[in-house]
Amino acid sequence: MNIHEYQAKALFEQFGVPCPRGVAVKDLSEFDAALDAIKPPYVVKSQIHAGGRGKGTFTDGFQGGVKLARTREEAIEYARRMLGNTL
């Protein structure tokens, strides 16, 4: 069975297993509100069924599917580069 990280976190939460707070979004229009639900620093992650996403390269050449953003603006820029792109 392959599930995304956000799906695994939902299962953990259901069974009382502690894990860091996160919010999954499907497009950039949801991202700004998602940032309101969590505190910086932000970790922006692509969701794929494969390991090594942090070292991966997107089809447009953008490097890394896991990015640490210290500011809201930086998080939005990473999300803009990842959402709708293929890792």
Q: What is the pLDDT of residues 59-86, one digit of tens each?
A: 999 999 999 999 999 999 999 999 999 9
How many C-beta atoms surround the C-beta of residue 38 within 10 A?
Answer: 14
Q: Which helix (H) or strand (E) holds 5?
A: helix 5-14
In the chain, where are the structural domains located? 5-82
Q: What is the pTM of this model?
A: 0.82
Maximum distance among all alpha carbons in the chain?
39
Across 11-80, where does the E strand assignment appear?
42-45, 66-69
Each residue of 17-39: pLDDT tens digit? Answer: 998 888 889 999 999 899 999 99
